Structure 1
């Protein structure tokens, strides 16, 4: 039967009386159960202090005045503690709700990314993209047209959290709305730039590199909007070269022309696109050097492209004690021998 305030008093009186008498473990267990009753009755800490003092006065007739006076101090402390504790619980509940909403948003964001594998026989493709938090400011894209041409992109929103993630979603839908220029790097970036400039805050910018591979000519055409320079690996020389990536970031000005570059890929050559979460990885507190990234990639060059990017990620994650400083995206597109 549910206890009223009076029955709580009687219950606590009997419990305290028994404990003073025999100090039994069973009574301590009853005290734990009583604390649950307090929560159900929404009793505050100061109410518990008052209850304890009232019962104590009844059980111990000659309770020293000094002990009684000490409860005034304890009561004031508990009033402050109770207010702070209730505020803490309220904040905790709001944080849990926010975390739950972010988890749902993160799942929705992940659903925006491509999932179907590239099926062009001439190519070996790998991608790993890991957010530093629940929401990612990195975006990657790949697609195959009816002629077997492959479009790939890596973008990075200069910002964090939900605003960056929302901007990433805008990029995806903007790219989907420009099908006629999807495989023309310079034209796509110019159109995308106008969309970004009109729709994001002036203090937010987006870097992006977009490229398309022609499997008939074995040419890789690409343009960059201020994005982290990638690499091209030359199998015949067993060395990496930096990709040219000049170009203004998206969203600064609506009138920007982007330069288009072209690379010829021979058997075994591959393209490496990445976000600054890769180049800003830290080794012993220092930013990783670009040559260290290429050395790490070369370490796993014998593996398929997907295994290669995953192994590179695992090593860099381990070096950083499994704590990413920024969103991490690494993409490799290799021409098969």
Structure 2
């Protein structure tokens, strides 16, 4: 340690001597290089000032008392600055560690969401889910049960950040624990509601729409727990309609029944749109985007495959917001294709 200090002293003495002499331009260049040494040696600002004072006193034999006194004042200032600087570095290191941990958690959370394609004859399916921050409070689900029916869901935790992401993970595992045989959408929401009511704080709630599509008869049965209404598109009339439902959000009370609704995708090209409120709460000049605007965007790309539609709609909405996301964004389309 003493050898290092002596080496730094001699190095800075040579640097300052050159600067006070005639070779100032070269000395300034060396000073920039020397500052990197300071960082490598973890040298604090007050230690640098002390080194400068010691070297300067050696190089200049007679210094005015005012100059010496000014060094004392500067050293005192640098002591305070040095403490603040070290606290800043400590906080920066802690933030970097937290960011690294969040990045790992985000990758783990992403791995919970399905990415495999839904390959069912006569069905065109697409979904996109993009978090507003590192982690998401949105959840989506799709699978095929033992009867060949397609189960789909979109859920949204009321809240943001890590608590919302943890709730999303809980919903994922609760869905995985459901029996493989076909359950009615209302029954699924009842089961999930009991899990949520037992396991999350009173000030947190989850909204969700769950539906089951029978590709044989083209019926779509669904239930909602206070979730953002989706859309139904009729290819025959070229019209969009809201999926009006009733149902209390998950987690308010453990004993809640959820009403079921059934619609029919009567014609080829009919489709269902499920979404989170991050889609409808997109802002333009401080105002929420109207649902008709969302319909117009979907209609713009309606001739494309479902996955391309959801991706293009998301891309358009990002541009609308100036690439500033305020909420998690999830959009899902299930279309009859035969």
Task: Give the TM-score of the pair, scaled to structure 2.
Answer: 0.96
Aligned residue number for residue 331 of structure 2: 330
In structure 2, how many angstroms separate the alpha carbons of the residues matched to 1:194 and 1:216? 32
Q: Cα offset for 1:37?
A: 3.1
Q: Which residue of 1 aligns with 2:90?
A: 90
What CA deviation, in whole Å up to 9, does each residue of 1:281-331 have, x standing for no partner? 011221000111111111111111000011100000011011110000000
SS at match of 1:115: coil
CA RMSD of aligned residues (A): 1.6
In structure 2, C-alpha distance between the alignment counterparts of 1:161 and 1:168, rounded to whole Å: 11
Q: Distance in 2 between matches of 1:70 and 1:123?
A: 80
Which residue of the partner structure matches residue 203 of structure 1? Answer: 203
Task: Check 1:147–1:219 CA distance in 2 against 1; reply closer, same or farther (3 A cut).
Answer: same
Which residue of 1 is the match for residue 246 of structure 2? 246
How big is the shift at 1:71?
1.6
| Distance (Å, rounded) in 1 between the aligned partners of 2:2 and 2:139 | 56
Partner of 1:12: 12
Query: Cα deviation per residue 1:168-205 (whole Å; 9 max; x = unaligned)?
Result: 11111111111256541000000110001001111110
Residue aligned with 2:295, SS? helix
Gaps (5+ residues) in structure 2?
Answer: none
- After superposition, give the CA deviation of every residue in 1:221-259 in whole Å (9 maximum; x if it has no partner): 000000000010111111110102210000000000000
Equivalence map 1:178-327=2 (5 Å) = 178-180=178-180, 183-266=183-266, 267-327=268-328
Aligned-partner Cα distance in 1 for 2:58–2:244: 86
Q: How many residues align?
A: 337
Equivalent position SS for 2:304: coil
Q: For residues 230 and 5 of structure 1, what CA distance do their matches in structure 2 show?
A: 69
Measure the CA separation in 1 of the matches of 2:214 and 2:118.
14
* 1:28-70 deviation line (CA, Å, top 9, x unaligned): 3332333333334333211211211121122122322222222
What is the distance in 2 between the residues matched to 1:101 and 1:273?
A: 32
Deviations 1:62-105 (A, max 9, x none): 32222222222211211111111111111111111111111111
- Following TM superposition, the consecutive aligned residue runs of length 4 or more in structure 1 with deviations greater than 6 angstroms are none
The question of whether the paired residues in 2 share the 8 Å contact of 1:181 and 1:188 is answered with: no
Query: Where does structure 1 lack aligned partners over 5 or more consecutive residues?
Result: none
1:149 alignment partner in structure 2: 149
User: What TM-score do you get using the length of structure 1 for normalisation?
Assistant: 0.96
Question: Closer, same or farther in 2 for the Cα pair 1:72/1:181, shift >3 Å?
Answer: farther
